[in-house]
Amino acid sequence: MNTQIYKIASFPLNLLVLPGEEVPLRIFEPRYKQLIEECLQEELPFGIPYEINGEPMGVGSEVEIVKLVGRNSNDDMVITIKGKSLFKAIDFIQTLPNKLYGGVLAELIDTDFTTTNPEIAVRVKSLKLNINSSLGTLVITDSINMLDIAKSIMLRTDEKYRFVTLKSKEARENYILKQLNFVEQIRKQESELENNFQLN
């Protein structure tokens, strides 16, 4: 597969947004207000390089603005963003020409996270996970997108990072199975607590 390196406006955060995932974002720094205003006007996506304590972790999310939720008198904004793709960060540009904000040279990460693992399919069905906005828990094909599972069980950002940076399909399947097992255990404990409460 030919890899293509491209340049995109950069808004580094301790945040990793999976493709199709929607999250709110508050904008208050002048440089990022400029970035968001331009993205709103020109309907452009922007990149969120994932960082921990200001240290770039080498991957990020390309996102688009779904909605401007509101702004205050200082022009601070709240927006809703949606993940488009994941990228590997090749290099960083501190400030783009004539801009207050920087950029990142990025290379798309292959987001084919599909699996035909029957154990995963069984867990998804037994937990009644909503992995498809139109089909819900219904699985009509032999393959399931593990990114949909990751969104459905609401992995933390550090867990998403660990998952998407795993090198093999088998490692990703094992990781998702481990997370599904954890969700199953939590639900069992919640059910036991509820039953005990009702008995008392």
Residues 134-152: tens digit of each pLDDT: 444 455 556 899 999 999 9
Which long-range contacts link 181-186 to residues 24+ away (Cβ below 8 Å)? 181/123, 183/127, 183/153, 184/123, 184/126, 184/127
**Which residues in 115-152 are b (16+ Cβ under 10 Å) and which e?**
bebeebbebbeebebebeeeeeeebeeeebbbbbbbbb
Chain-centroid distance of CA 145 in Å reads 14
Distance between CA atoms of residues 36 and 42, nearest Å:
10
Q: What angle do CA 64, 98, 100 make, to 5 degrees?
A: 60
List pLDDT tens digits, range 159-198: 999 999 999 999 999 999 999 999 999 888 877 776 665 5
